[in-house]
């Protein structure tokens, strides 16, 4: 009777020892498996894609226009083309061309928005004098158009800015159904301007609200 009880007691102790060892070993394995997975793994797995870097060049793939005669250049969107080139000696306009989206969009009104690059004669000594001489807040009239020295009418919101790193003057105007918003700068011997005509905004809102400010920002002198 006592011998049988002793045997049962020994077996019970063995079971408890083995069970305790297994439990303890299991905790070690679990703890070690948790420690071998670094926090960075979860961080990388759950991270979202990196955003576009702030300050990235939005004009990197744009076309570049370069004028070696009047020594300036600027960029414009790849979908746009140079539609026409012209000059108007009567208005002291030595050279100009229009950049426009060749894809015609529906809708009435005149014209489809465009950007004009223009070069005028420098007939005074300063940019301020030139703007004062060739612009007016008065409405357009036939006599001024035919033989006067005024190029822009109904001028408003005139202010100083910069273009190509130099002091410039910008303003809004109205003239015969168009709405020019030119920015002019003085080069050595000429007055150079970039002009946005935005009369019919619905036909090309991107040019007015997005592209034109970027075009201005890429303007530079070659000399």
The whole-number average pLDDT for the span 89-104 is 85
CATH of the domain at 215: 3.40.1000.10
Identify whether the C-beta of residue 192 lies closer than 8 Å to the C-beta of residue 124.
no
> pLDDT tens across 45-57, in order?
333 334 444 446 8
Q: pLDDT tier at 88 (50, 70, 90 boundaries)?
A: confident
Which of the two residues, 44 and 60, has the higher pLDDT score? 60
Peptide bond into 59 cis (omega under 30): no
> pLDDT tens across 173-211, in order?
986 556 789 999 999 899 999 999 887 777 888 999 999
* CB-based burial, 8-19: b 16+ in 10 Å, e otherwise: eeeeeeeeeeee
Q: What is the mean pLDDT of the chain?
A: 78
The whole-number average pLDDT for the span 92-111 is 79
Identify whether the C-beta of residue 83 lies closer than 8 Å to the C-beta of residue 100.
yes
Res 203: pLDDT = 83
Residue 57 within a domain? no
Element (H, E) at 128: helix 127-134
The whole-number average pLDDT for the span 86-112 is 79
pTM over 0.75, yes/no? no
103 and 156 assigned to the same domain? yes
Residue 34 within a domain? yes
Res 150: pLDDT = 82
- pLDDT reading at 33 higher than 90: no
Residue 183 within a domain? yes
Residue with tokens 């703007």: 131
How many structural domains is the chain composed of?
2
11 and 111 assigned to the same domain? no
> pLDDT tens across 133-188, in order?
999 898 876 455 545 688 888 999 999 999 999 999 999 998 655 678 999 999 98
**Residue 195 belongs to domain spanning:** 63-221
């Amino acid at each position: 009777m006592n011998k049988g009880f002793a045997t049962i007691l020994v077996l019970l102790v063995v079971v408890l020892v083995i069970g305790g060892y297994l439990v303890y070993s299991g905790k070690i394995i679990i703890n070690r498996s948790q420690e071998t997975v670094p926090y960075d793994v979860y961080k990388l797995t759950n991270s979202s894609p990196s955003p576009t870097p702030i300050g990235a060049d939005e004009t990197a793939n744009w076309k570049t226009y370069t004028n070696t005669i009047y020594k300036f250049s600027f960029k414009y969107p790849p979908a746009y083309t140079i539609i026409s080139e012209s000059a108007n000696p009567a208005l002291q306009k030595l050279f100009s061309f229009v950049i426009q989206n060749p894809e015609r969009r529906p809708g009435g009104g005149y014209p489809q928005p465009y950007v004009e690059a223009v070069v005028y004669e420098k007939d005074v000594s300063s940019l301020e004098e030139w703007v004062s001489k060739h612009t007016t807040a008065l409405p357009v009239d036939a006599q001024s158009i035919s033989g006067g020295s005024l190029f822009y009418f109904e001028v408003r919101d005139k202010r100083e800015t910069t273009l190509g790193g130099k002091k410039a003057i910008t303003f809004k105007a109205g003239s015969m159904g168009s709405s020019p918003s030119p920015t002019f700068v003085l080069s050595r011997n000429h007055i150079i301007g970039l002009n946005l005509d935005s009369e019919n905004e619905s036909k090309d809102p991107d040019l007015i609200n997005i592209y034109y400010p970027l075009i201005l920002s890429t303007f530079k002198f070659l000399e």
